[in-house]
Structure 1
Amino acid sequence: MSTSWRITCIGPLQASDGTQVVTAFPSLPAKLLLASLALRPGELVPRDTLCERLWPDDEPERQRARFRWTLSRLRKLLAPELFVSSGNSAVGLAPGTTSDVAEFDALVRASLRPGICHDELRALHEQLEELYKGEFLAGLTGEWVETERERRAQQLKRAILPGDIVLPDVPPKPIPGIGYFGREQERRTLRTFAQSAQRLLTVTGTGGLGKTRLVREELLSEALLFVPMAALTDASGLFDLLRELLKLPASGYGPVQERVTEHLKTRGKTLLLLDNAEQIAEGLAPLLETLLVQCPALQLVVTSRRRLKMEDEQVLKLEPLPQRVAEALFLDRAQATNPQFAQTAPGKAQVAAICKLLEGIPLALEIAAARALLVSPAQMRQELETRLRFLVRLRGAEARQLSVRAALEWSYELLSPQARLAFRRSGVFRGGFTLAAARFVFGDEPPVLDALQELIEHSLLKADYHDDNETERVRYTMLEVIRELAELLLKEIPAEEAASCGYHGSFYLLRAKHVSECLKAGSWADAAEELKQERANLRQLVGQAVQKKQVDVLYELVQAVGVAWIQVGFWQEADHLLAGAEHLFPRESKGLADVLTLQAVLARRRGEGEVALPKWRQCLEIHQRRQDKFRAVIAYIEIISQAIDEGDLSFAQQDLATLNAIKDDVQLSDINKITIDTLSARIKFALSLFEESLSLSIEIINNCKKIDIDDAYWVGIVSHIVPVFIHCRDWQFLDDVLHDAIRKSFLSKQIFTMGILLMQAGNAFVETGQVLAAIQSFWLAHKIHQELDSRYRKKCEQSLGEAIHQYGTFPGVEQWLCKVEGKPWSSIYTANTLPTFRPYNDFK
């Protein structure tokens, strides 16, 4: 290679050959590919490893196509000779290429050599600090980037402060340490405070989040005095404790408070850490105010589960660790206990689930990790279904840190009697609750707002704000482990538990009926939002009704939310409700027929025709025996639609003839009549009677426009007849109707139907030669049906793969796919995502 390239990965990614510095790269995958190769310049990296890192969700064929495209663009941007390969199996950077990250890794390895002398170590440290001026791949995000970034940060910390070496000019840490993970922003806040003129900082958060460890890790110095206050039951004991820690005489001239204050004045700038102040917060505040006034050079950092409510108090509230940091902490501790823990692929997959159950609470993560010698990852995940029982230390900690339950009960014991009652009753909720729900379940005692405020102040409850149709609302949430404690405490008082569960059931049955009213009024978006917010609480209501065999409650739930759950994609909830109701409802009852109908709809959407058809037939038989002709007609409509889907046209024609013979005896709505016409149009299209099908489809659309049709029916009808217009190349119809139907399905949360319409739009765009719009449509459809696990999932995946294989090199395609990579479909689609349909000739 005529020129030597250097790749910089610490800080923003850039590449330089001595004459130019390249900082703009064509795509995120291009950046990640170059950075991956820069980790070990001169070495070949298997192509499959790189493909899996860059596009983990893609099929192998698509991964390889995107890899070839990305590598070719890098070669064109930088230099073809910069990249070397071994056939199609591996690729790397040419010999002679250097990178700062490879040099960093080499320095770290050198600094950790056993027996290294102090002078050599100090020289290596200076080189490391000079090299590490920013974070790895600054400005980029993604799982691999975050993992590598965290690894480099931890390597730097271990290299500069190795556990078995103490540099002469580095004061030893008073607390023998285990590595600290995450909290970068909080640590910066602490350092900034210590260097500022601010006087008081309170670090708050739920028990077990690591408040004390964070402050001690970050602020321990000669000027810091650590004051453990967990044993204090009265704030007046603070100055006696300070006197002992400052080693002042037990007796002397003047009161203890004055002697301590005078001593602190003489120390100059002094930073005190007052640990665990929550139990004496009220009495502590006036004492600290006096101390700060009398000692102008004094700074205070207080850890407490609630703020002190003092003037000029700065508050740093800790939240649970992010998932990736939690996984890193857990693995570090678990593998220190058992080096073989989670070393296999199945074990690593379980770690993510374990950390999700532990909710990012450091105390819970460390207690669980300590049991890594006793159980496998899969067994640990199973044991964590009862978190509070599993998360117990065997020894080695003060009483309130021996278990997660003990840490949380410390906060519970500090509550007023009214707040304790509210805390216990909050255990009946799932996934949070609203103020209206709290008032219904808690009752008039305790005063609800006062109780909620106290729970929030003690870090046992969180108020989440969100906008809902331009109205700001508050939802109260708990960590699940806190909610489990509330539920356990509630169960200890059976009468209170029975009453609270009864109130919970009554309230959410009313909310289910509200959903039904929204549906009847055509407010699908409002209904979907309600179902989303109260998904867990409604699921809890279903479980209670099934357990207690409350047939009347189950019947009302089937009527209220059965259809809605299926439409918005909450299929597991629908399964749970319908399965419970099916076994409890009387045979031959209307309720059972309704359950079978919804089960058939759900099975059909999943592509389980062999399950759906017998249920439709059973529904039809029930309605015929009950002489309910209207519902029999509806059952026939669904049976015929199922037959058309499965290509059984003779069967569909026979049932349609039967339906036409009996429909005149039933008073049908305009929607029902249009639906029957839609079946006829679909059968004609399947029989290749295209002109007749087109004529009938146009008539159907015109009839829909004459009546006030609900959006849910409208988008369903459009989805059935779009193939007719695509085949007949009627682009005007597609512009007028298909875009409108997609938009309305999105706004009304008809997600399954929206996925069908987008798939059809992709087919139309292929016909019109609008390549990017076709790929956008197929991508959105694929993501929707993948999320639902519907019968169209594989079809959408195939259509998307074929489109990318054929059109992947077209302008804009690769850039758009990189832009949306890893993002949910709902963050990509807008009403203006898709262009209008234009005939192919317009592009020539």
Structure 2
Amino acid sequence: MAVEFRLLGEVEAREDGQPLDIGAPRQRCVLAALLIDVNRLVPSDRLIERVWSEELPYRARNSLAGYLSRLRQVIGGRGAEITRQPGGYSLTADPMSIDLHAFRALTTQGRSATDVAERDELLGKALALWRGIPFASLDTPWLNDVRTALEAERFSVVLDRNDAALRVGRQNELLPLLTALAADHPLDERLAGQLMLAQFRCGRQADALETFRIVRERLVEELGADPGPALRGVHQQILDGDPGHQIAAPAPRIEVVTRQRAAVPRRITSFVGRDDDIAHATEALGMSPLVTLTGVGGVGKTRLALEVASRLENQFDDGAVFCELAPLDGGSAVGHAAAAALRLQQQQGLGIEDSVIEFLRTHRMLLLVDNCEHVLPAAARLVDQIVRNCPHVVVLATSREALGVGGERILPVPPLPAGEAAQLFAERAKAGRPDFDLEREPVGAVDEICRRLDGLPLAIELAAARMRAMSSIDVARRLDSLRLLSGGTRDAPRRQQSLAATIDWSYHLLTEAEQALFVRLSVFAGGFDLDAAHGVCGAGSDTDDDTLDLLTGLVDKSMVKMRAGADRTRYFVLETLRAYGRDRLRENGLLDQCVSRHAKYYTELAEAAAAGMHCADEGAWVMRMLPDYDNLRAAFEHAVADGDIDTALRLVTSLSELTHLRIGYEASDWAERAIGLVDADHPLYPAAVGFAARGAWNKGEFDRARSLACLADGRSPGRGNGRVAYPGDVLADLALYEGDADTALAHYDTEMHRARRDGDPIRLVWTLFYVAICHAALRHPENGRAAAEEAVEVSDTTENPTARSMARYALGLVLKKSEPEAALALFDEAAELAASVQNFWWHGIALMEAASTRAVHGEISTAAGALIDVIEHWDRVGDWSQQWLNLRYVARFLVRVGAGDEALALHHALARAARSSPLNAEQLEALAEQDSNTGADGLTGAEAVAIARTTLARFC
């Protein structure tokens, strides 16, 4: 294969994907100068000027000849040749082997393409060739000028591609990029027009018009000129409704699971040394929004990152959050992993990664993204978007290689120096053998062990674990065999080979039974508990006590880590060790068998959880299942990959109760994938369709939700499917949302009778709840009282917290006006019940209805405090539809307590957001006469929330 050259980033030459050694900076500068003018003669004087400018070395021509000679040796005979000709030199190669020329060729093809989708694709391929700033580490006047010209060339292509992407309807995924670009190029009118169109077509007309206003003011203030005809034309196009493009409905903000705030995991063993590394990382984080700790596996990147984060988390308003990517098998789940770490859910109308960005825009935190190397492209893309769009978020990443993101500061993590390595060995050895004393060990034995292990903390810990069974001399003696063991590819770093050999050595010191369990444990994604270890990995004749004994041995020998929790102990295998175990499984022909057992176990567990979610033990099942979400994902992917669609459907249709409003909407996407792989007559098809449709509904994709629900052709999942996965319910909810409460009521009335006939109490509570809600929507809440009271009675027989919460909320809602005290008690109880099973949605709406009732009938300070709690809840959840509803309640309360200016400000904010105001004409006229709050009609939603929070605090 011919050599490939890279200029759009650091200067590189690669053959078969492996880098070639092209020498020091001056030599790379010579190569870059020839590559830019490939297949053309470059005079010697011009080449010298390009490389040295005016700072010529002694005998520059001889130096140049030396560089060229070495380059010939590297690239000669690989499809490229450097030749000397009269007057100069030329590099002969296929221009398409050079990313710069390939970029220009693709750009030309893209710009001349008549089909807009083809143009978008070709320009995207051209831009994908850029890996960073061209020849960033080289600094000569000529190269600096070329770099500036190339970046301008790239920006022009970006603008062309933006136009194509907008024309093919990719405004949703384009919007974050346009927002970041506009911040970097605030006076570019073409870019501003593209941003305005994207905002408008995403349903954000107000933002689009605000962008025009801001750009116009900047142009006038900085350039003394009004917007040009093109930008004015876009402005008029938006005012005219942008004919030919459908406008997406504005969506609520990000939904965040109200669990305990995510934080950095607590260290369970001491942290040894690395004071200088901590200081360097801390300093770097103060100077850059992205710091990446790089190094070989096992060098201690994660431990160092956790130590730094734990020391800095109090310096950030929102603390530090740990996002672990090690359990992921592919890049598609990176966004979901970040969302899970942040305790948030996907925003309606946005992808999961865009939802993460929108949430982080307004937060101040340190985000630790761990183990990026195996999902590097996806991790780099997400981190790049965070760095560009979230000004108050600092990212600390760990990876075996740099992310390659703009603004990244790379800190290589070195092995431990001799003294700290010996200290680490001593502390870990003492953990297993309390009488271990480093001073009494044979002189030099521990130092020799640490030296041979290259100071790698993981290798040292594994070796120290052997001190329970042998002396330090014996350990050192056994290390001799490491040099005979294969440790990866020949060109892998020596320390990486040494680590692999150490793992192999530690593996061979296990008993046969421990070895068998260890390699099988590598099938888990993330952690696991004892039941899972036995169910997936235990031999048929073993008991769980046998598995526990073996697992304890692996923990003692540092091959498995333990994480104790309040509910149950969980275990995990470090990613380096997990990869080793997977290789062993594959070599032994056991991988497929173990993967199948893993999928079968978690499918059966999910089915048991689905039933448990309908009884009194709902909270216990939530606590049991949430930590295994990575394993559930892996089990689904395994089943789909193996073509075991029955297992995939059994699994996904068992997850709707667990994942709905607790983890996120990813599992409903699995359901949509599954229904595309199975015939419509499959018995689980309606349940899968219902779950997929419910997920689309939750994300605000109403047309898609309707289309999916109709696939069931009127079929019902049947008894035992509970609250979520009913296609007919989704269609009824769409009718209710569109104002047709009669149609929704007719559906739920029919379903209520069906649930009563089937003897399905959970389904009966759900349908009774909606019957009461529909009557309230028809403005006759008293007609729903009987249904709500029956819901309370039935839910109490189930002892199910979510059912009891729903029933009490429904009864409270129909009693809110006629019996406010009784309604208040019901709302408080509903909120407490929902919180007990981590059901953030029911918790939030119950809190809000309780606060709104107190705002009308309760003591002032108590009501103000309750309204603040609701503001904080929806602010954390990110659901603006509920936050606007809450601001209506706040505005009404502020009128009650005499805060007229602030109430009027909230009225204007509601009007600006196209939300109805609770204030009548008489109240508005009276407030307008005494208004002293000028400019209140320009409040954004965030400003309105700030005013509400500050004003309410005065009355607490």
**TM-score, with normalisation over the residues of structure 2?**
0.42
**TM-score, with normalisation over the residues of structure 1?**
0.47
